[in-house]
Amino acid sequence: MDRERIRDYQSMVNQLRASGIRTELFVGNSRDLKKQLKYADQRKSSVAVICGSNEFELGVVQLKDLNLGAKISSDIKTNKEWKNQPAQIEIKRENIVSEVKALLDKSKFIK
C-alpha cells in the first residue's frame, strides 16, 4: 500500500461499500503486507484487495480469496506459485465490484 494513494484506496473502499460489500481499509504499517493479510484473517475477511504502485501503473488490482488460500496454503512453497494458483487473481481495477462479488459468492462454498 502506498501512502500517497490513500485517496485512491478510499475511493475503492467507497465503491465496494456502495455496492453493499462490507469493506475495511488497513491503516497500520502500509509496507508490511504480511501484517495486513494477518489482520484480514483476524477479521475473518473472505477477500483481500491488494494494489501497490505496480498495480496502479497497470490499472489492475490483485484479489486474494482468503478462504481458498487458507485451504491450499500448505501446498504453496513460493510467491510465484501463490500468484499462479486460483486463490489470487489479477483484475482490471474498474471491475473490482463485480469480481469481489464473484469471489464472495464462490467462497460461500469453500469450507
* Contacts of residue 21, Cβ cutoff 8 Å, sequence gap at least 6: 97, 100, 101, 104
C-alpha Rg value of the chain to the nearest Å: 13
**Verdict on whether the full-model pTM lies above 0.85:** no
Q: Which CATH class is domain 3-107?
A: alpha beta
CA–CA distance, 6 with 19 (Å, rounded to integer): 20
pLDDT tens series, the chain, 111 aa: 677 888 999 999 999 999 999 999 988 766 778 888 888 988 999 999 999 889 999 999 999 998 877 766 666 677 676 666 667 899 999 999 999 999 998 866 544
